[in-house]
A and B are shown apart, each in its own frame.
Chain A
Amino acid sequence: DAKTTQPPSMDCAEGRAANLPCNHSTISGNEYVYWYRQIHSQGPQYIIHGLKNNETNEMASLIITEDRKSSTLILPHATLRDTAVYYCSNRGSGAGSYQLTFGKGTKLSVIP
């Protein structure tokens, strides 16, 4: 069973920031928050991950609340190619913590 909850769908205007929330209220201390996305007919694409601190890379920013019970993925300037299903997932860092599980994700539609 997925340990995360996400809204089923969101719309975002092209060029605007897309903010995708994720609730992971049962996250444990050594679990990272991972974000992936899946475009139809392709494999899941890794976006970003973090433990406590906010993270930024060339694709997105990840904001994790201080209590770590939720996070937000930010795509700063959404394009049509960002239309996809976005998944957040918790995964530990210790030995044996390798299985990636996805919930139902958020279907993001970027609108021209």
Chain B
Amino acid sequence: DAGVIQSPRHEVTEMGQEVTLRCKPISGHNSLFWYRQTMMRGLELLIYFNNNVPIDDSGMPEDRFSAKMPNASFSTLKIQPSEPRDSAVYFCASSFGSSGQPQHFGDGTRLSIL
């Protein structure tokens, strides 16, 4: 069975550029999560969608970050303009429902902003 698919796996870009990360959740899952992982801060939830609707975006660092989920099988996380402190591994996860169900993660996008 296909798991959560993220692209690209690696992204290196210069400060100020726009970055778009993509995620395809597991088919049939109706909850989608974007996380960021760094050595210093560990795993942080950025935003949570349920049935394609953003429910909680309190973890989005600032206005430079935006996320969309136009349909049940696709989501994007955009950073514009990017800054070096945005360098991290970004994970997308999905689950069937949000409460009590395990979240399944993609392999992440390793983002480096120079």
Interface residues of A (CB under 8 A from B): 2, 32, 34, 41-46, 49, 92-104
Contact = CB atoms under 8 A, between A and B. Distances in A.
A100 B93 CA distance: 10
A98 B102 CA distance: 9
A88 B74 CA distance: 29
A98 B105 contact: no
B25 interface: no
Given A43-B91, A102-B42, A102-B43, A97 B99 contact: yes
Interface of B is mostly: strand
Interface of A is mostly: loop
Interface residues of B, number: 22
Contact of B105 (A32, A41, A43): A43
Contact of B106 (A43, A46, A101, A103): A43
A39 to B, nearest CB: 10
Interface in B78-97: 91, 93
A104 B47 CA distance: 22
B58 to A, nearest CB: 10
A46 B102 contact: yes
A93 B100 contact: yes
27 contacts: A32-B100, A34-B102, A41-B107, A42-B108, A43-B91, A43-B93, A43-B106, A44-B43, A46-B104, A49-B102, A92-B99, A93-B100, A94-B99, A95-B98, A96-B99, A97-B99, A98-B31, A98-B33, A98-B56, A98-B98, A98-B99, A98-B103, A99-B48, A100-B33, A100-B43, A100-B45, A103-B42
